[in-house]
Amino acid sequence: MAGTKEIRTQIKSIQNTRKITKAMEMVAASKMRKAQENMQATRPYLDKIRVVISNLSKAHPEYVHPFMVERTVKRVGLILVTTDRGLCGGLNVNLFRHVLRTMQGWSESNVEIDVCAIGSKGVAFVKRGAFNPVAEITGLGDRPRFVKVQGAVKTLLDSFEAGKLDEVWVARNEFVNSMTQKPNLVRVLPITPEAVTAQQHHWDYIYEPESKDVLDLLLKRFVAASVHQATVENVACEMSARRIAMKNATDNAGDLIGSLKLKYNKARQAAITQEIAEIVSGAAAVG
């Protein structure tokens, strides 16, 4: 009977694990739906603000905001959007790999990097590496609030305004569909709307109260909205990645249980056969 008991406990424990992964899969699936709706809901704001900014670039403003001016790059700010929790497949790791490649390029051209990490995984990553962390946010939850993002982004915006940073980038996962998430890096500062092709007639906005104040507010909102959208999208990515990861884990557990059951039955069968052989040979010896 050697082994059957061990195999039985092994099967039990894998069954328990399967129950957990199955439950996590279902939780992630329902959260994914909500996160996707949330992502759709925040999109109009960013779309509209983008329209306003592209209108702005067509106008001929008397005042050019520092956020819209390109500078030679000596120091960049990086906003790294990650998840708070693991067990979501290669989502964060893929992003880190992608970011590291870009960072290497920056380091080679002697560009220094300030990192603002969003999400515990990103914070841990920044601490492991030799980066310069400037801000961090964790615990945004399943519905990241705009105001919370604004606070962290402000530090980077301030250093950009003060001329300490020459570019600000956001690294995040792009939600392609529920099966695919693509890590990417986008530049949010300076803001360069698509180049104006045809020279339209000269017009400019009336600004109230002051062009500087209004533009400042508008552009800051734009950056914050971009980052907010990234965090919201990242939640959708996290949930779909976790759903897939947990589905795979559940399937694997099923396979394992199958093969262990086969092994268990074989062992049991062998034990019975052996017992019968012993009895038969015993009877033969007596008879």
Partner 1 sequence: MAITVRVDIVSADHAVMGGEATFVVVPTKMGELGITPRHTQLLSELKAGEVRVTDAKGVVSLFFVSGGVIEVQPHAITILADSALREEDARALEMIEEEARLKALESRIEIGTRETDYFRLRGAVEAEERLKWIEGIRGSARHSSQ
Where b means 16+ CB within 10 Å and e means fewer, 26-38 reads eebbebbeebbeb
Residue 197 beta carbon to partner 1: minimum distance, rounded to whole angstroms: 19
What's the CA gap between 84 and 157, in Å, rounded? 24
By beta-carbon proximity to partner 1, the closer residue of 113 and 153 is 153
What's the CA gap between 287 and 78, in Å, rounded? 88
What's the CA gap between 85 and 62, in Å, rounded? 47
What's the CA gap between 149 and 232, in Å, rounded? 11
Q: Is 178 in the site for partner 1 (CB under 8 A)?
A: no
Residue in this structure with the two tokens 């980052």, named with its chain if needed: 227
Contact flags string 50-89 toward partner 1, x per CB under 8 A: -xx--xx--x------------------------------
160: closest CA among 68, 49, 61, 50? 68
Residue 200 beta carbon to partner 1: minimum distance, rounded to whole angstroms: 12
Q: Is 209 in the site for partner 1 (CB under 8 A)?
A: yes
By beta-carbon proximity to partner 1, the closer residue of 2 and 147 is 147
Strand bridging mode 112-118 / 181-189? unpaired
Per CB under 8 A, contacts with partner 1 among 113-152 are 146-147, 150-151
Residue 209 beta carbon to partner 1: minimum distance, rounded to whole angstroms: 6
Residue type, 183: P
By beta-carbon proximity to partner 1, the closer residue of 48 and 182 is 48
What's the CA gap between 89 and 250, in Å, rounded? 13
Is 229 within 8 Å of 167 (Cβ atoms)? no
Kindly indicate which of the ranges 21-29, 35-43, 74-82, 116-124 contains the residues binding partner 1, using the contact rule CB under 8 A: 35-43
By beta-carbon proximity to partner 1, the closer residue of 158 and 275 is 158
Residue 62 beta carbon to partner 1: minimum distance, rounded to whole angstroms: 13
Contact flags string 185-204 toward partner 1, x per CB under 8 A: ------------------xx
Q: Using the rule CB under 8 A, which residue among 41, 186, 262, 280 binds partner 1?
A: 41
By beta-carbon proximity to partner 1, the closer residue of 26 and 53 is 53
Kindly indicate which of the ranges 23-31, 37-45, 64-72, 121-129 contains the residues binding partner 1, using the contact rule CB under 8 A: 37-45
Per CB under 8 A, contacts with partner 1 among 211-270 are 211, 213-215, 217-218, 221, 225, 228
The three-state DSSP-derived secondary structure of 24-35 is HHHHHHHHHHHH
By beta-carbon proximity to partner 1, the closer residue of 23 and 217 is 217
Residue in this structure with the two tokens 């017992």, named with its chain if needed: 275
For residue 259, give both structure tokens. Answer: 């093969």
What's the CA gap between 76 and 172, in Å, rounded? 16
DSSP secondary structure of 120-138: HHHHHHHHHTT-EEEEEE-
Q: Using the rule CB under 8 A, which residue among 32, 49, 117, 171 binds partner 1?
A: 49
> Given the rule CB under 8 A, which residues bind partner 1?
38, 41-42, 44-45, 48-49, 51-52, 55-56, 59, 146-147, 150-151, 154, 203-209, 211, 213-215, 217-218, 221, 225, 228
